[in-house]
Amino acid sequence: GAVVSQHPSWVICKSGTSVKIECRSLDFQATTMFWYRQFPKQSLMLMATSNEGSKATYEQGVEKDKFLINHASLTLSTLTVTSAHPEDSSFYICSARDPTELLAKNIQYFGAGTRLSVL
Amino acid sequence: GENVEQHPSTLSVQEGDSAVIKCTYSDSASNYFPWYKQELGKGPQLIIDIRSNVGEKKDQRIAVTLNKTAKHFSLHITETQPEDSAVYFCAANYGGSQGNLIFGKGTKLSVKP
């Protein structure tokens, strides 16, 4: 299957600072990437859909000014958590779809996740 | 709104036994149902998926069944091994064939040696 790389895997930051998380599709071009948030022992909650060359589509209740998403190329999407606070501490996971898989358009390949701890 | 219910939330089996996890979905337009395995501190890994035009799919020790009429699908793991221990998530697409995925709450599977 396709490979999605996410970096960093773990980040600790001070309250009020911004953190950028990168998501790369390594062996395919992803026109669509997704950003999820996962709290301990809970399911994945979709935050936003990132579309290459256009604005991200945010789910209800997700602050777009707080969670900035940029998808400037077909292989890279970034999530920036701005002015992070302790309540933003969570596990953030990206995924990507391979548009060339004509018979498998819905398949999402996930990155390894980023654990964010805000002090 | 769209919803995916997953049961049980925890499952403990002896090595060699079978494990079954069940999910139900609400969107009758859903036609893609993947299962993901997530190990501690890692991202979800796709282990098997099924589309609405088939009722069952197998891949070695793993199988998935789909009942479109009842809107439920199940993951079956036979001859479980300790390395099968993980959290398993079911999902269903919504909003059409190009739609996003909605996930179940997960099942923590523990396989005891």
B47-104 pLDDT, tens digit each: 999 998 889 999 999 999 999 999 999 999 999 999 999 999 999 998 765 668 999 9
Torsion, Cα B103 B39 A30 A97, to 10 degrees, reads: -40
State whether A106 and B104 contact (CB < 8 Å): no
Identify the DSSP state of B17: S
State whether B103 and A49 contact (CB < 8 Å): no
**Residue in this structure with the two tokens 């299962």, named with its chain if needed:** B35
Using the Cβ of A109 and the Cβ atoms of chain B, whether some distance falls under 8 Å is answered with: yes
State whether A106 and B32 contact (CB < 8 Å): yes
* Range with top average pLDDT, B13-17, B30-34, B96-100: B13-17
Nearest-by-Cβ selection for B93 from A93, A106, A113 = A106
State whether B100 and A49 contact (CB < 8 Å): yes
Report the 3 state secondary structure along chain A.
Answer: CCCEEEECCEEEECCCCCEEEEEEECCCCCCEEEEEEECCCCCEEEEEEEECCCCCEECCCCCCCCEEEEEEECCEEEEEECCCCHHHCEEEEEEEECCCCCCCCCCCEECCCEEEEEC
**Would you state the pLDDT for residue B99?**
66
Smallest CA-to-CA distance from B38 within B6, B84, B2 is with: B84
Using the Cβ of B88 and the Cβ atoms of chain A, whether some distance falls under 8 Å is answered with: no
> Can you tell me the mean pLDDT for A98-114?
79
Sequence letter at residue A97? R
Cβ atoms < 10 Å from Cβ of A1:
12
Q: Would you tell me which residues 43-62 of chain A have a C-beta closer than 8 angstroms to some C-beta of chain B? A: 43-44, 46, 49
> Can you tell me the mean pLDDT for A15-38?
93
